[in-house]
């Protein structure tokens, strides 16, 4: 069955087809890339998969369940994560607060939230920026913070749209 399967996704805007018959599947522990030129429909395919937009046709199955009509937040609760290509950090919050804001939604004790945030800041080389406002981060640091935020909930799958844009390849 696989962890994620899309079948015959289709989307059009004002009569212009932007995604036509896209199907793919992802197995547990598998890394899969969706490649194509600019304007090929990759982002639209991601957005249909995570529930940001509804497909005109086709279906999305996640962990054996048809989630085609579920909203994004319900897919997230099932373990489907998403990292958008658009900036998504809270620029007025510190880097640590950006992580804690998501952790607070999980209902874990304060000490555990602080520990988890510190672990993620360490993992992404951002410990030195923990107390700094996120707006002071470089483009690469911001992207790392966004990736760390996407991993906070420990999703069983994470869809990443242009995950390394702005990230130093040596970092």
Query: What structural domains does the chain harbor?
Result: 4-78 (3.40.50.300), 95-160 (no CATH)
More confident site: 8 or 34: 8
Residue 171 has pLDDT above 60, yes or no: no
Q: pLDDT by residue (tens digit) across 113-160?
A: 999 999 999 999 999 999 999 999 999 899 999 999 999 999 999 999
| % of residues, the chain, pLDDT over 70 | 96
- CB proximity list for 7: less than 8 A, separation 6 or greater: 23, 58, 59, 60, 61
User: 27-49: buried (b, 16+ CB within 10 Å) or exposed (e) per residue?
Assistant: eeeeeeebeeeeeebbbbbbbbb
Q: pLDDT by residue (tens digit) across 92-116?
A: 999 999 999 999 988 899 999 999 9
Find the mean pLDDT for residues 39-55.
95
pLDDT-wise least confident of 34-38, 156-160, 163-167: 163-167
| % of residues, the chain, pLDDT over 90 | 81
Q: What is the mean pLDDT of the chain?
A: 93
Q: Name the residue with tokens 């990230």.
A: 167
pTM for this predicted structure: 0.84
Q: Say what the pLDDT of residue 168 is.
A: 66
């Amino acid at each position: 069955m696989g962890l994620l399967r899309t079948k015959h996704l289709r989307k059009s805007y004002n009569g212009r087809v932007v995604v036509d018959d896209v199907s793919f599947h992802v197995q547990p522990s598998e890394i899969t890339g969706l490649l194509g030129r600019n304007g090929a429909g990759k982002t639209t395919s991601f957005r249909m998969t995570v529930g940001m937009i509804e497909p005109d046709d086709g279906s999305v199955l996640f962990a054996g369940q048809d989630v085609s009509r579920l909203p994004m937040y319900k897919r997230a609760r099932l373990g489907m994560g998403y990292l958008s290509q658009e900036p998504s950090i809270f620029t007025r919050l510190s880097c640590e607060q950006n992580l804690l804001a998501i952790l607070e939604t999980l209902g874990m004790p304060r000490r555990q939230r602080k520990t988890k945030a510190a672990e993620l800041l360490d993992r992404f080389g951002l410990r030195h920026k923990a107390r700094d406002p996120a707006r002071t981060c470089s483009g690469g640091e911001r992207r790392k913070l966004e990736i760390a935020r996407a991993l906070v909930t420990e999703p069983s799958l994470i869809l990443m749209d242009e995950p390394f844009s702005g990230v130093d390849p040596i970092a």
